[in-house]
Homo-oligomer: A and B are copies of this chain.
């Protein structure tokens, strides 16, 4: 059975303007690979209701899981929860379970649960809360869309809360061979080897280091023994230039 597929939707003008370097894509990609869920697409859109709603609709129709990052705080530009609700036609309002989580958190710190903070308890009807051990305000899963915070430490904590509840497949296995030859020399022999192993995927990722060209060849597939055999054959083709 193939692994479940997934997409990530990053919401935030600060990424698109170049103000902030996104960290959540890299983190989620690694966690999903370990969990046996295939991340197939990422989109980054601005804090715009139409753009968010359209992306949620398209991705939730195309993949088994959609993860979102950003736009669930208390300020006026935090509109993700409303957009996800709109994408599914679900009613949304302050929900008692989410309000109770926030009340407990702020009471303990002697902070007022004001109107702005209460916005973070707006959760669509039918959604399941995602635990936020960092700052309390919960994420949620509505159908196949998992809505999480944009602040990396909170995003990571929510991913850790959520992933064990999702059914993963076999962790995707891979082996890497570093070849210190230009890709133009690697391409021919690599292409022929790849055609001998139609069940494996061969990727070549070039680099330049100290002015010298090379490539990391990554072989992926479900069968560890087949990966090692293919890696051995590739290494033999470039003897003396591998690591």
For A197, what are the chain B residues with a Cβ–Cβ distance below 8 Å? none
How big is chain A's contact interface, by range?
A: 35 or more
Distance A199 CA – B215 CA, assembled complex (angstroms):
49
Distance A208 CA – B54 CA, assembled complex (angstroms):
31
A160 smallest CB distance to B (angstroms): 15
- The yes or no answer to A114 lying at the interface (CB within 8 A) is yes
Closest residue of B by beta carbon distance from A76: B191
Closest residue of B by beta carbon distance from A201: B13
- Once the chains bind, are B151 and A218 in contact (CB under 8 Å)? no
For A187, what are the chain B residues with a Cβ–Cβ distance below 8 Å? 73-76, 116-117, 119
- The yes or no answer to A39 lying at the interface (CB within 8 A) is yes
- Once the chains bind, are B16 and A29 in contact (CB under 8 Å)? yes
Is chain A's interface secondary structure helix, strand, loop, or mixed overall? mixed
- Once the chains bind, are B14 and A33 in contact (CB under 8 Å)? no
Distance A26 CA – B120 CA, assembled complex (angstroms):
29
User: Which of B22, B27, B33, B183 contacts A73 (CB under 8 A)?
Assistant: B183
Distance A48 CA – B242 CA, assembled complex (angstroms):
27
- Once the chains bind, are B46 and A51 in contact (CB under 8 Å)? no
- Once the chains bind, are B46 and A40 in contact (CB under 8 Å)? yes
Name the residue among A22, A31, A202 with the largest chain B CB count within 10 angstroms. Answer: A22
- Once the chains bind, are B75 and A204 in contact (CB under 8 Å)? yes
Closest residue of B by beta carbon distance from A13: B203
User: Which of B26, B74, B153 contacts A183 (CB under 8 A)?
Assistant: B74
Would you give 12 A-B contacts (Cβ < 8 Å), ordered by A? Answer: A14-B203, A14-B205, A17-B220, A22-B26, A40-B51, A43-B43, A75-B186, A77-B203, A77-B204, A116-B183, A120-B184, A151-B206
